[in-house]
Amino acid sequence: MTSLCAALTEGPSPLAAMLINLAPPGSAAEQHVTPEGVSLGYVHTPGGRNSGLFTDAASGWTWVGNARLDYREELLLALHLPASLSDSALAFQALLRYESNCLPRLHGDWQFAAWNSRTRRLLVARDPFGSAGLYFHHSPGRFACSGHIDAVLACPGVPCKVNWDHLGLALCTLAHQTTDTGYQNIHRLAAGHALEVTSHSCHVFRYWNVQEPVSARRGSPEDLQLQFETTFRSAVESRVKTALKPASTLSGGLDSGAVTAVAARALATTGHRLGAFTAVPAFPPTGRLDPSRILDEGPAAAAVAQLHPNIDHHLIHAAGRCPIAALQRFVSLTASPIANANAVWLLALMEEAQAYGHHTLFNGQGGNATLSWQGPPSLRFRIKSSLLHFTRQSFRFRGAWRRFSLLRPAIVETYQLAPLLFDAENTYRTRGDLRQFSLQAMSNASGFTWTSLAAAYDLSPLDPTLDPRFIRLCLSLPPRFFKDRQPARRATEALLPDVVRLSRRRGLQSADFRQRLAASLPAAHAVLDRFSQQPEIAGALDLPRLRELLERHASPSSPARHGTASSQICCALAAGFFLERVAAAPSHLASRSSA
Give me the amino acid identity at 205: F
Local confidence pLDDT in tens for the 595 residues of the chain: 689 999 999 889 999 999 988 877 667 889 999 988 899 999 988 778 999 999 999 999 999 999 999 999 999 999 999 999 999 999 999 999 999 999 999 999 999 999 999 999 999 999 999 899 999 999 998 999 999 999 999 999 999 999 999 999 888 877 776 789 999 999 999 999 999 999 899 999 999 998 788 888 889 999 999 999 999 999 999 999 999 999 999 999 999 999 999 999 999 999 999 999 999 999 887 656 677 888 899 999 999 999 999 999 999 999 999 999 999 999 999 999 988 899 999 999 999 999 999 999 999 999 999 999 988 766 565 555 555 554 544 444 445 556 668 989 899 889 998 888 878 777 765 555 678 878 888 888 878 999 999 999 999 999 999 999 999 999 999 999 999 999 999 999 999 999 999 998 888 888 889 899 999 999 999 999 999 999 999 999 999 999 999 998 888 766 544 568 888 999 999 999 999 999 997 655 644 333 3
Buried b / exposed e along 394-433 (16+ C-beta atoms within 10 A)? eeeeeeebeebbbbbeebbeebebeebbbebbbebebbee
Q: In 198-255, where do the E strands start and end?
A: 202-206, 246-249
**pTM of the entire structure?**
0.92
Determine the Cα angle at 340 with ends 337 and 344, to 5°. Answer: 115
DSSP state of 377: P
Query: What is the rounded distance in angstroms from the CA atom of residue 593 to the CA atom of residue 584?
Result: 14
Nearest one of 143, 66, 165, 148 to 418, comparing CA atoms:
165
Q: What secondary structure does DSSP assign to 459-518, as a single string? A: -EEE-GGG-HHHHHHHHHS-GGGGGGGHHHHHHTTTTS-HHHHT---EE-TTTTHHHHHH
